[in-house]
């Protein structure tokens, strides 16, 4: 089955710096790669996603890159702010119905 | 719109007791899912239902059963709860391969 590895597990940055979180996946048939943000005690919410026919996607301060050959994708957050502090999860699609297999998460702390 | 609604939000069980987590969505989505979240383990797929009338196992199905009652509702049952099933359970729905919409979560403790 699909396996998604996510690194690092914790990340601490100064406000205004950039943060990068990396994920690798095992199933070459995966074609959908979303990123979710989960604040403490809340439900996960989608922040950005990318499909396999695209190499990069941006939404304001957030960008995701995908390298299908190497089976890895990354989340980039620029000009970090304290409200970016949360746990971020990457995921990759598994089977055809849209099931998502998640990485174990990265706890991002942005220090003012 | 309420989105995805889960009940109960909190539950404490004794080992061996049974219970059902209820989930309903009002977005007319075909696909529904049950995940569990444990510290340091991310979200792990228990069961999913690609469409009304179908269910299938995910990554960690042992000890659970599910029922897709209709297009709106997808329940998760623990027949004989074990301490290893202490977790936060999330129900989610989607329209095929795309964004998952999660419920608020159900925190289950098994003593």
Q: Which of B42, B55, B57, B101 to mutate to test the interface with A (most CBs of A within 10 A)?
A: B42
pLDDT score at A52 = 83
pLDDT score at A81 = 97
A99 in contact with B, Cβ within 8 Å: yes
Mean pLDDT in residue range A63-83: 96
A97 in contact with B, Cβ within 8 Å: yes
Confidence of residue A97 (pLDDT cuts 50, 70, 90): low
Looking at CA atoms only, how far is residue A33 from chain B in angstroms? 9
pLDDT score at A2 = 80
Residues in Cβ contact with B108 at an 8 Å cutoff, skipping those fewer than 6 apart? B11, B12, B13, B19, B21, B78, B81, B85, B86, B87, B88, B89
Comparing CB atoms, the residue among A36, A45, A98 nearest residue B94 is A98
Contacts of A6 in chain B (CB under 8 A): 42
User: If DSSP states are collapsed to H, E and C, what string results for B11-51?
Assistant: EEECCCCCEEEEEEECCCCCEEEEEEEECCCEEEEEEEECC
Taking the alpha carbons of A53, A59, A64, A67 in that order, is the dihedral positive or negative? positive
Please give the Cα distance from B93 to A9 (Å, whole number): 27
pLDDT score at A96 = 61
pLDDT score at A53 = 82
**What distance, in Å, lies between the first and last C-alpha atoms of chain A?**
41
Q: Do A98 and B90 make contact, defined as CB atoms within 8 angstroms? A: no
Please give the Cα distance from A52 to A60 (Å, whole number): 21
């Amino acid at each position: 089955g699909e396996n998604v590895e996510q690194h690092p597990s914790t990340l601490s940055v100064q406000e205004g710096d950039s943060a990068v979180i990396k994920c690798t996946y095992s199933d070459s048939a995966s074609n959908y790669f979303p990123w979710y943000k989960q604040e403490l005690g809340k439900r996960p919410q989608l922040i950005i996603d990318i499909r396999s026919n695209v190499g990069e996607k941006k939404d304001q301060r957030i960008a995701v890159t995908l390298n299908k050959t190497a089976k890895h994708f990354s989340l980039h957050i620029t000009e970090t702010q304290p409200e970016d502090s949360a746990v971020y999860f990457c995921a990759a699609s598994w089977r055809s119905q849209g099931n998502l297999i998640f990485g174990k998460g990265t706890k991002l702390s942005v220090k003012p | 719109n309420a989105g995805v609604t889960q009940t109960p939000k909190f539950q404490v069980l004794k080992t061996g007791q049974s219970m059902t987590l209820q989930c309903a969505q009002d977005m007319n989505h075909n696909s529904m899912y049950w995940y569990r979240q444990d510290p340091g383990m991310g979200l792990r797929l228990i069961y999913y239902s690609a469409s009304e009338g179908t269910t299938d196992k995910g990554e960690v199905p042992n000890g659970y059963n599910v029922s897709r009652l209709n297009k709106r509702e997808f329940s998760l049952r623990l027949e004989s709860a074990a301490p290893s099933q202490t977790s936060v359970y999330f129900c989610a729905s989607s329209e095929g391969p795309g964004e998952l919409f999660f419920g608020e979560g159900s925190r289950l403790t098994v003593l």
